[in-house]
Amino acid sequence: MKVRQIDTNNSSDVRRFVRFPFELYRENKFWVPTMEAEMKTALDPETHPFYQHSEAAFFLAQSNGKTQGRLAVLDNKRYRRALEKSTTGLFYFFEVVEDIQVAKALFEAGFRWARSRGIDTLIGPKGLAQGDGIGMLVEGFDYLPAMGISYNLDYYPDFMVELGFQKESDLLSGFISADEYQLPQRVHDLARRVRERRGFHVKKFNTKDELRAWIPNVREVYNQAFATVPEFVPITEEEVWVIADRILSIADPKLLKLVFKGDTLVGFLFSYPNISKGLQRARGRLWPLGWWHLMREFKRTKMLDINGIGLLPGHQGVGATAVLYSELEKTVREFGFEYADLVQINETNLKSFSESDHLGATWHKRHRVYKKTF
């Protein structure tokens, strides 16, 4: 078995890296592929804005010409600066057959590359940009993932422990049944008073072009809303369009809502129809029939992913949150969704957990971010 760093200019290498999960998860009914074009962009220094400021290396483990595993190691210089002269790098795209020796060989290659850049600690899974899936699934293997959130095989967490990684943080996702989901009337009453007395209102969209015009403003609010989150790295002007294109490719604009106070944008509520089953049928490709499977699932799905709730710091906890949650219930009922997935809230975010108790969420999936100093 041999581990090598691939040449991202070599189409054959890129294809092996991108397509390996299709072999690994062939018999798994819960894994959802990333679109092949999106994966190739992540490996392309000419097109992804990550490479304007940072570097990455991609590794394949192969035996007798057959791929056994893959791994990406990222030297995210903006992330390192945010941590103030940090020697911390990131890992991502980890996939491996059920063989701990293959996993060890992959990470040893990754450690060597990281050391050559002054990195002595890896954290992950974390991707190239905000909005990439975070963490490794450690609980909830019998559920479809939310859109853009990773799914992995159940032996991965044991491998991470054996490799010497430790827990950095956990992110929990909550399941909501529309039949049982009803906010207390006091939340709706508070939302109404806030609208009337403080001038809050919600802007809705009918087309993606309408929403696209607000993307720069949303970036500013997003960066301010999460500025106090540990290890947060603000989204750049270039990165926000990569993220926006990804969101808009799977979004119904009517489900993406912005919160204003007067004429000032102060928050957002982003939710998406879960079209995971369509992505499975598309097998990562739009052509020849992938687009048809996706469009069909848009019309059929009864699952909503809630993955984007934020308010400017000056408006958190003063009633605007009630406006967001009241609007969320309207969304679920108006569009006839039967279930919703409240996606990836950090377990340390007690404020969000307290608020989300109003939603009646059952925490059914846990993703873990791992850390190792080597």
Number of folded domains that form the chain? 2
Residue-number span of the structural domain to which 257 is assigned = 176-364
Q: Is pLDDT above 60 for 350?
A: no
172 versus 310: the higher-pLDDT residue is 172
Q: What is the mean pLDDT of residues 187-206?
A: 86
Which of 110, 88, 119 lies closest to 5, judged by CA?
A: 110
> Do 123 and 221 belong together in one domain?
no
Is 109 domain-assigned?
Answer: yes
> Do 78 and 193 belong together in one domain?
no
Q: Is pLDDT above 80 for 338?
A: yes
Q: Read off the pLDDT band of 352 (50, 70, 90).
A: low
Final residue of a structural domain among 96, 128, 160 = 128
Q: Is pLDDT above 70 for 23?
A: yes
- Residues 105-130 have pLDDT tens digits of 999 999 999 999 999 999 999 999 88
Asked if 243 contacts 131 with a C-beta cutoff of 8 angstroms, the reply is yes
Q: What is the mean pLDDT of residues 283-296?
A: 89
Is 133 domain-assigned?
Answer: no
Is 372 domain-assigned?
Answer: no
> Do 70 and 214 belong together in one domain?
no
CATH assignment of the domain containing 238:
3.40.630.30
- pLDDT score at 356: 61
d(CA 213, CA 211): 5
Instruction: Please name every residue paired with 173 in a beta bridge, in sequence order, or none if there are none.
Output: 365
Q: Is pLDDT above 90 for 19?
A: yes
Is 231 domain-assigned?
Answer: yes
Is 217 domain-assigned?
Answer: yes
> Do 78 and 201 belong together in one domain?
no
Instruction: Please name every residue paired with 267 in a beta bridge, in sequence order, or none if there are none.
Output: 259, 311
Is 134 domain-assigned?
Answer: no
Is 171 domain-assigned?
Answer: no
Q: Is pLDDT above 90 for 232?
A: no
281 versus 321: the higher-pLDDT residue is 281
Phi, psi dihedrals of residue 27, rounded to the nearest 5°: -100, 5
In the chain, % of residues over pLDDT 90: 57
- pLDDT score at 357: 63
> Do 123 and 195 belong together in one domain?
no
> Do 7 and 104 belong together in one domain?
yes
d(CA 117, CA 7): 19
Q: Of the ranges 144-148, 159-163, 242-246, 365-369, which one carries the lowest mean pLDDT score?
A: 242-246
Asked if 344 contacts 145 with a C-beta cutoff of 8 angstroms, the reply is no
Is 149 domain-assigned?
Answer: no
- Residues 46-102 have pLDDT tens digits of 999 999 999 999 999 999 989 999 999 999 999 998 887 789 999 999 999 999 999
> Do 206 and 101 belong together in one domain?
no
- pLDDT score at 219: 93
> Do 88 and 211 belong together in one domain?
no
> Do 210 and 80 belong together in one domain?
no
> Do 211 and 105 belong together in one domain?
no
- pLDDT score at 130: 81
